[in-house]
Amino acid sequence: MLSEGSLYNVKNLKVVSTTGEYIPLSNQYKIIFLVITSLKRLEEGTVKIPINGFQFVSLNLINLRVNDNTILLDVIGSFCGVGDIEIVGADFSLCLLGMGLEERVAESCINGHKADCAWTVSVHTFSDITNISPVVFLHLLKECYIHGTCKATRKFRALQQQVSQALCNSPEPGPATFIVRCLYVLPIFGVYSEGFSHLIISALRRHQKTTVNSADSTQAKEIAAYLFLDITGGFVDHDEKLMVKILEAFDVRLTDIEKAITQLKAQNEHRFDTAKTVIEQYIFAMIDSQSYMTAVSLLEHFSIRQSGESFLLKMIQNKEFKAAEKWATFMGKPMLCLLVQQFVDRNMLKSAYDTIKKNDLQQDFPDVYHKCKENLLKRLAEKACWDIAEAKTKGDKRLLEYLVYLAMEAGYSEKVDELCERYSLEGFLKTREPEAGFVHSRFLHLKELVVEDIIWVDEVDGLHKAICHIEGCKVVGIDCEWKPNYVKGCKMNKVSIMQIASDEMVFIFDLIKLAEDVPDVLDSCLTRILQSPGILKLGYNFQCDIKQLAHSYGELECFKHYEMLLDIQNVFKEPKGGLSGLAELEYAALDAVVLLQIFHHVRSCSQPTDVSEGHDKIEWKSYIVSHMDNPKKSKKRPTIKKETESGANYH
3-state SS class at 498: strand
348 Cβ neighbours under 8 A, 6+ residues apart: 321
Q: What is the pLDDT of residue 594?
A: 65
| DSSP percent split of the chain into helix, strand, coil, nearest 5 | 45, 15, 40
Q: What is the pLDDT of residue 428?
A: 65
Among 555, 498, 554, smallest CA distance to 530 is for 498
Distance, in Å, from the CA atom of 396 to the CA atom of 399, rounded to the nearest integer, reads 5
Q: Are strands 475-482 and 495-501 parallel, antiparallel or unpaired?
A: antiparallel
Q: What is the pLDDT of residue 630?
A: 62
The per-residue DSSP string of 112-174 comes to TEEEEEE-----HHHH--TT--HHHHHHHHHHHHHH--S-HHHHHHHHHHHHHHHTTS--SS-
Among 65, 56, 63, 54, smallest CA distance to 110 is for 56
pTM: 0.49
Check the CA dihedral 37-38-43-44 and report its sign.
positive
Helix (H) / strand (E) element for 38: namely strand 29-41
Distance, in Å, from the CA atom of 116 to the CA atom of 270, rounded to the nearest integer, reads 63
Check the CA dihedral 460-466-471-474 and report its sign.
negative
Distance, in Å, from the CA atom of 631 to the CA atom of 510, rounded to the nearest integer, reads 24
Q: What is the CA radius of gyration of the chain?
A: 43
In one-letter notation, the amino acid at residue 615 is H
Which residues of the chain are modeled with pLDDT < 70? 1, 5, 44-56, 59-60, 62-63, 73-131, 170-172, 269-272, 307, 427-452, 485-489, 571-651
